[in-house]
Structure 1
Amino acid sequence: MEHVLDNPIYYALSSAHSHMAKGSDRVKYYVEDITAFAGLKDNSQDDLNTLYQISPAESFFIFFSKTPVEIPEQWKLLTQIDMFQLVFRGKEMPIADVRGITDLDLKHVTEMIDLVELTKPGPFLAKTIALSNYTGIFVNDKLASMAGHRFFPSPYREISAVCTHPDHLGKGYAFKILQEQIKRILLRSEIPFLHVRNDNEGAIKLYQKLGFEIRTDMIAYVIKKEAQTK
């Protein structure tokens, strides 16, 4: 039987995030403005063809696969990102220092989008905050670092959008926010996990220091719907 983390987007959209899903039983994607991710039951040619048929014109999507996927010609492959998937295996509850950590809400979205655009941790849209539990650290009333939740293939909860402004790197802000994120997930009897580019050595070392272990390789495919020709 397939593990839910082998296809985390599909299983999130089939369970805890079903109220945010569009599509069919086999092919699902998040409501526009929340995020651009799609979950495909088998990542097959048939699934990708179905996604093309049921999605709006000029859509673009990101989907994850453990193994290489051949992209059908009606899709344009924008990029492919080789990643590691890590799962929290720590034995103790993090002792998080919550001083200076702010729960982010709708009034912070513009700053959150600006920080993501600058640091490129992954897509963040106008309503991505609906995925919940975004926290940040402000310096001189400007957002310096943040992280939040994304996929929820229960009982696993993904930590995502981990980013820090270049002017504030090396100050321990990401470590502090991640400790709080891990703590909140564990207190709900859930298991933290995350994804990271496999060449981001600094981030990988940080996550391992916090108690994460590499579970598997994962590939992110970013695809755009090409117009049909008559």
Structure 2
Amino acid sequence: MEDLLYNPVYNALLLRDAHLGAGTDRVKYFDEAVSPFVGFPTNYSKGFSDLYDLFPSGRRILYATPEPIEQPPGWQVVASIPGLQFVFTADELPQRSAVTPVLLDGTNVEEMIQLAQLTKPGPFSLRTIEFGHYYGVFENGRLAAMTGQRLHPGNYSEVSAVCTHPDHLGKGFAAALITHQLYLIREQGQRAFLHSRDDNERAIALYKRLGFTESRPMHFYFMKRV
């Protein structure tokens, strides 16, 4: 059986996140307002060529792969970020926090985007919330921390957009929100995974403490069609 997390973006677009995407029978992509991620089958050599034909000049995409790649013809690599993939492997879920996460909705999107722009957990746009299950913690009426779900390949659900405002670090908000996601994902009959920059030592230490185990490297390539 194929390891769904080796090519998580394509498998998510093929399966549980298909309603948020478009493309052909070989290449898939999310609506720009949802996510810049694109995907195609592992070892499909014409993926970037097909995407080039589909997109206008200047279109930005994000491609994730365990193996490093060279800049494909017709595309400019704007940024290359080495990352790590983690899968939740603990036998038991961590104890719930006293912090009570609040379900976020469309009225919170502007503040969510502002927090993501400040903390840079990854791309976050107007329709990213449609991936679902976004929760936050508020302090004095302002969004102090949030997390949600993103990719849903098969029986896996990705914990994503883990971010805390710099003024509220060290209060346990990230741990509380991730733990809340773990319970949600378990209740949905799914298995949790996530991604991190490989140099984000603070986040990685937290993920391991909560029960995540490093699975593989994952390279993230932000590109622009020339």
- Name the TM-score class by shorter chain: over 0.9
Taking the TM superposition and a 5 Å limit, the aligned residue runs for 1:27-42 are 27-42=27-42
Deviation by residue 1:15-44 (Cα, 9 ceiling, x = unmatched)? 111111211122100022111110121365
In the alignment, which residue of structure 1 is the partner of 2:73? 73
8 Å Cα contact 2:81-2:219 kept in structure 1: yes
The residue identity in structure 1 corresponding to 2:212 is F
8 Å Cα contact 1:66-1:219 kept in structure 2: yes
The answer on 1:168 being equivalent to 2:165 is no
In the alignment, which residue of structure 2 is the partner of 1:134? 134
- What is the rounded CA distance, in whole Å, between the counterparts of 1:180 and 1:6 in structure 2? 25
In the alignment, which residue of structure 2 is the partner of 1:15? 15
What's the Cα RMSD here?
1.3
Tell me how many residue pairs correspond in the alignment: 226
8 Å Cα contact 1:65-1:218 kept in structure 2: yes
The residue identity in structure 2 corresponding to 1:47 is G
Q: CA deviation at 1:208?
A: 0.3
Query: Where has structure 1 moved over 6 Å in runs of 4 or more?
Result: none
In the alignment, which residue of structure 2 is the partner of 1:59? 59
SS of equivalent residue, structure 2 residue 77: strand
Deviation by residue 1:170-207 (Cα, 9 ceiling, x = unmatched)? 11110011110111001111000000011111110100
- What is the rounded CA distance, in whole Å, between the counterparts of 1:97 and 1:210 in structure 2? 12
The residue identity in structure 2 corresponding to 1:129 is I
In the alignment, which residue of structure 2 is the partner of 1:216? 216
8 Å Cα contact 1:119-1:165 kept in structure 2: yes
In the alignment, which residue of structure 2 is the partner of 1:146? 146
8 Å Cα contact 1:94-1:180 kept in structure 2: no
Q: CA deviation at 1:91?
A: 0.9
Q: Flag structure 2 segments of 5+ consecutive residues without an equivalent.
A: none
In the alignment, which residue of structure 2 is the partner of 1:181? 181
The answer on 1:207 being equivalent to 2:221 is no
* Aligned-residue identity in percent: 41
8 Å Cα contact 1:45-1:72 kept in structure 2: no
SS of equivalent residue, structure 1 residue 68: coil
The residue identity in structure 2 corresponding to 1:180 is H
Q: Flag structure 1 segments of 5+ consecutive residues without an equivalent.
A: none
TM-score with structure 1 setting the length: 0.95
TM-score with structure 2 setting the length: 0.96
